[in-house]
Chain A
Amino acid sequence: MQELPLEGIRVADFCHVWAGPHVTQWLAVMGAEVIKIESHLRPDLTRSFFAGGKTLMPGLNQSVDFAVLNYTKKGCTINMTLPRGIELVKEIIKLSDVVTENFGGPVMERWGLGYPDLKKLRADIILYSGSGFGRTGPYKEFPAYAPIIDAFAGLTSLNGYAGGGPVPFGVGGWTDLTAAQHGAFAILAALHHRFRTGEGQHIDLSMSEVGCAFLPDAIMDYTMNDRVQRPQGNRDIAMAPHGCYRCQGEDNWVTIAVSTDEEWEALCHAMGDPEWADDERFRDGLSRWTNQEELDRLIQGWTSNYTDWQAAVLLQEAGVMAGPTLSPQAVVQDRHLAERGFFIDMDHPEMGKVRLPRLPLNMNHSPFGKYEHAPSIGEHNDYVFRELLKMPEEEIARLQEEQVIF
């Protein structure tokens, strides 16, 4: 049994949808006890998301979205519209190290759970607030979803094919998850600081600022050179060939990137040194880059005789950067990920056996972390109210009747 780094850390988790839950998911997998606080009045939105959009949802506990964003957490239901509910939460917070939330506005404050209030409950508390635009500034209450943030930060304007206009970024929740990971990192740093000094703090994370944090080259090209970059498709600012080429079969593609003359020679050799490879236009990096359109056409002429994997392996063995374009289902079947145990099977009370992706956490050559199925709504009420808050049966029963625990 590997000792988990966050063993003994408790998190009172108000996060919902994507960007928030993924933060606490990292903490949970690292061993923190994450208590997700919902209620039937306000279940996490993803519980009702259609997983990919085929089957209709038979209830709150079978959403794949929820399952992949909330595993290893505990779930309890408290009605925050009632003062007593807020009292209960305060009890939980007293026993917690971290409180997390990603509401669209100052909801915590309305509940009397703003950072100053929390500090009174527990002096060294760490409060994490994730939001689309941060907790200050004119946009602080704007609702935000990943694609909105992408549009605002400039990511969308840079997503697209060379010469074409911007197209919506297809990776659902990209910025939710990159923001979430920044959040997880910030919380760990804050815990580290508390570990040394006993001091807690408030973390204010802005998704749009995370979006910009990943666009420094484009942003600095503007701040330095006043240049506004446009979509570059699969192209690179210097490498050529550098693209995605059609292969044998239905919608199969392989990517190839060549960064040096050596790699270029290796590529030509792997392609059986076609005549055109000696062409003046492709003599050196600069000319290859200048004539990449033509070059791409010719390379595709070669790749189209192979399956994506054949081409990829041929080139990798020659020392050329290359890889097939995998679809999600292909990723699921990928032998490399399989061998590294990237997918884990869980038994879910209502979904049955589910195979879900881990977090990219590996230590000392083995997968790392604690993985338990995502909680059904209120699944751990017993644990929370009996064991944790040590409440007598009858009080719990009463609170249930009063729809405080609900």
Chain B
Amino acid sequence: MSGQALSGLKVVEWSDFVSGPYCGKLLADLGAEVIKVERPGTGDRARRHGPFPQDIPHPEKSGLFLYLNTNKLGVTLDVRTVTGAEVFSKLVGQADVLVENNPPREVEELGFAYKRLCEVNPRLVMTSITPFGQTGPYRDHRSCDLISFNASGLAFVNPSDGVEDPEGQPPLKGPGHQGDLVAGLSGAVATMGAVLNCQVTGSGQHVDVSEQEALASIMRSYLGLHAIEAMTWTRLKGSIPGMVSDKYHCADGMVYLLCGQDRFWAEWMKAMGDPDWAQNELFQDRISRRENWDAVKAMIEEWTMKRTVEEVVRTADASRVPCRPINTVKDLATSELAAARDYFAEVDHREAGTLRFPGGPFKLSQTPWRVQRPAPLLGEHNEEVYCNRLGYTGQELTVMRAGGAI
């Protein structure tokens, strides 16, 4: 048995809500020992965000929190108290990685700037995931998913199509916590880079991840086109390039179908029985098709409307034209695909009961993605961490508790 890919890697996660915790989750799900540090009392902000079973808010039952913090050890610690700060440095002293997403100024004021921490632990990899990074004029700007999504240009080009009058509508943030999740993800990749680097050089480093950049990085092709082709975008209908894929109404639902590229066009036309309109030179090449896309879509939709989603998808699959029904998360959760890949993880949680949520998005043949323990209850591992690892006594814990440090 190979154990897990990151077993042996010790991580302290001093993070709140989504970005830092998702970074920590990626590490924990592959076997890293992640100690999550939460504020005593209220704990992680995600505990206050739903979904909650029966919609009744409960700090131990937030779906978002339970998903983001699988496989972690949970301790409570108020690093703003002197005792808390002391305990925190001890934790960091024993760790390979610190993942944090606190305002840079706050981190400095608390004396946890990387310079200070690497005095304690020169091998420490400190990953800071913040809205605008550790430097630059917006460094101290306050932000959330909505702001970051807009700051990166993503919201401006979203939605790419399907709105009658895009300009009449505001730019649109992605659903849920896309911005925060992407930032946490970039943080995890960068962290592993630094960890491998540390194996060679023996010295840690301070990884600076900016959510604005993480999202702008998703915009890379736009930015490339702007740089090289000097392209600019308005939100005028159809101004978004490359719309050669689109959604089509069928008799009983919608499909998303991609047939604009030359290599799919012929196939799809054949699948539709080579309709006459397709011969029109308006639709002969990709560029012209894009220019007359509204016509293309209308013609194709006329065909799809006469057929069920299932028929359209089957036809497309037969001719290897990329096409899938437009799913709700319910469809996904109940799909044969999810079942076949046994994608969903099922976890019994002491407070929240049995939970089903997305498992590992990748499978490693030797070192599986695994849920070994559900997300921690608030302070669940105080004893294990403080007594067993840092050597505090139960009596001392009581004093720290009464003093509000844990």
Any chain B CB within 8 A of the CB of A1? no
* Contact between chains at B403 and A285 (CB < 8 Å): yes
The docked-state distance in angstroms from the alpha carbon of A215 to that of B405 is 26
* Contact between chains at B399 and A237 (CB < 8 Å): yes
Any chain A CB within 8 A of the CB of B102? no
Interface of B is mostly: helix
The docked-state distance in angstroms from the alpha carbon of A239 to that of B82 is 15
List residues of A (260-292) whose CB comes within 8 Å of B's CBs.
260-261, 283-287, 289-290
Contacts A284-B83, A285-B82, A285-B83; A260 near B403 (Cβ below 8 A):
yes
Closest to B402 in A: A238
* Contact between chains at A289 and B399 (CB < 8 Å): yes
Contacts A285-B405, A286-B405; A238 near B82 (Cβ below 8 A):
no
Closest to B401 in A: A238
Interface size class of B (residues with CB under 8 A): 10 to 19
Query: Could you say which residues of chain B place their CB within 8 Å of the CB of A237?
Result: 398-399, 402
B357–chain A nearest beta-carbon distance, Å: 37
* Contact between chains at A286 and B404 (CB < 8 Å): no
Closest to A262 in B: B81
Q: Which one of A260, A283, A285 lies within 8 Å of B399 (CB-CB)?
A: A285
Any chain A CB within 8 A of the CB of B396? yes
The residue among B86, B398, B399 with the most chain A CB atoms within 10 A of its own CB is B399
A293–chain B nearest beta-carbon distance, Å: 15
B341–chain A nearest beta-carbon distance, Å: 49
The docked-state distance in angstroms from the alpha carbon of A287 to that of B83 is 8
The docked-state distance in angstroms from the alpha carbon of A290 to that of B396 is 9
B84–chain A nearest beta-carbon distance, Å: 8
A291–chain B nearest beta-carbon distance, Å: 12
* Contact between chains at A238 and B81 (CB < 8 Å): no
The docked-state distance in angstroms from the alpha carbon of A106 to that of B401 is 49
Any chain A CB within 8 A of the CB of B282? no
A285–chain B nearest beta-carbon distance, Å: 4
Query: Could you say which residues of chain B place their CB within 8 Å of the CB of A284?
Result: 81-83, 86, 405
Query: Could you say which residues of chain A place their CB within 8 Å of the CB of B86?
Result: 283-284
User: 1/0 per position for B68-94, CB-CB distance to A under 8 A?
Assistant: 000000000000011100100000000
B109–chain A nearest beta-carbon distance, Å: 15
The docked-state distance in angstroms from the alpha carbon of A239 to that of B400 is 10
* Contact between chains at B403 and A286 (CB < 8 Å): yes
Closest to A285 in B: B403
The docked-state distance in angstroms from the alpha carbon of A238 to that of B81 is 15
The docked-state distance in angstroms from the alpha carbon of A289 to that of B403 is 10
Query: Could you say which residues of chain A place their CB within 8 Å of the CB of B82?
Result: 261, 283-285
* Contact between chains at A286 and B398 (CB < 8 Å): no
B66–chain A nearest beta-carbon distance, Å: 30
The docked-state distance in angstroms from the alpha carbon of A289 to that of B392 is 14
* Contact between chains at A238 and B405 (CB < 8 Å): no
User: 1/0 per position for A226-259, CB-CB distance to B under 8 A?
Assistant: 0000000000011100000000000000000001
A110–chain B nearest beta-carbon distance, Å: 52
Query: Could you say which residues of chain B place their CB within 8 Å of the CB of A239?
Result: 402
Closest to B404 in A: A260
A100–chain B nearest beta-carbon distance, Å: 41
Closest to B85 in A: A284
The docked-state distance in angstroms from the alpha carbon of A284 to that of B403 is 10
Query: Could you say which residues of chain A place their CB within 8 Å of the CB of B403?
Result: 238, 259-260, 285-286
Query: Could you say which residues of chain A place their CB within 8 Å of the CB of B405?
Result: 284-286
A375–chain B nearest beta-carbon distance, Å: 49
The docked-state distance in angstroms from the alpha carbon of A289 to that of B402 is 12
Query: Could you say which residues of chain A place their CB within 8 Å of the CB of B401?
Result: 238
B376–chain A nearest beta-carbon distance, Å: 23
* Contact between chains at B399 and A261 (CB < 8 Å): no
The docked-state distance in angstroms from the alpha carbon of A239 to that of B402 is 8
* Contact between chains at B402 and A286 (CB < 8 Å): no
Closest to B80 in A: A261
The docked-state distance in angstroms from the alpha carbon of A283 to that of B85 is 11
Closest to B397 in A: A286
The docked-state distance in angstroms from the alpha carbon of A289 to that of B82 is 13
User: 1/0 per position for B365-406, CB-CB distance to A under 8 A?
Assistant: 000000000000000000000000000000010111111110
A14–chain B nearest beta-carbon distance, Å: 46
Query: Could you say which residues of chain A place their CB within 8 Å of the CB of B404?
Result: 260
List residues of B (42-67) whose CB comes within 8 Å of A's CBs.
none
List residues of A (280-312) whose CB comes within 8 Å of B's CBs.
283-287, 289-290
The docked-state distance in angstroms from the alpha carbon of A238 to that of B400 is 8
Query: Could you say which residues of chain A place their CB within 8 Å of the CB of B83?
Result: 284-287
A294–chain B nearest beta-carbon distance, Å: 17
The docked-state distance in angstroms from the alpha carbon of A385 to that of B398 is 63
The residue among B396, B401, B402 with the most chain A CB atoms within 10 A of its own CB is B402
* Contact between chains at A238 and B398 (CB < 8 Å): yes
* Contact between chains at A261 and B398 (CB < 8 Å): no
Starting from the known contacts A239-B402, A261-B82, A286-B400, 12 additional A-B residue pairs (CB-CB under 8 Å) come to A237-B398, A237-B399, A237-B402, A238-B398, A260-B403, A283-B86, A284-B81, A285-B81, A285-B82, A286-B399, A286-B403, A290-B396
Which residues of B are in contact with A by a Cβ distance under 8 Å? 81-83, 86, 396, 398-405
- 27 contacting pairs across A/B (C-beta < 8 A): A237-B399, A237-B402, A238-B398, A238-B399, A238-B401, A238-B403, A239-B402, A259-B403, A261-B82, A283-B86, A284-B81, A284-B83, A284-B86, A284-B405, A285-B81, A285-B82, A285-B83, A285-B399, A285-B403, A286-B83, A286-B396, A286-B399, A286-B400, A286-B403, A286-B405, A287-B83, A289-B399
Cβ-closest 7 pairs across A and B: A238-B402, A284-B82, A285-B403, A284-B83, A238-B399, A286-B83, A289-B399
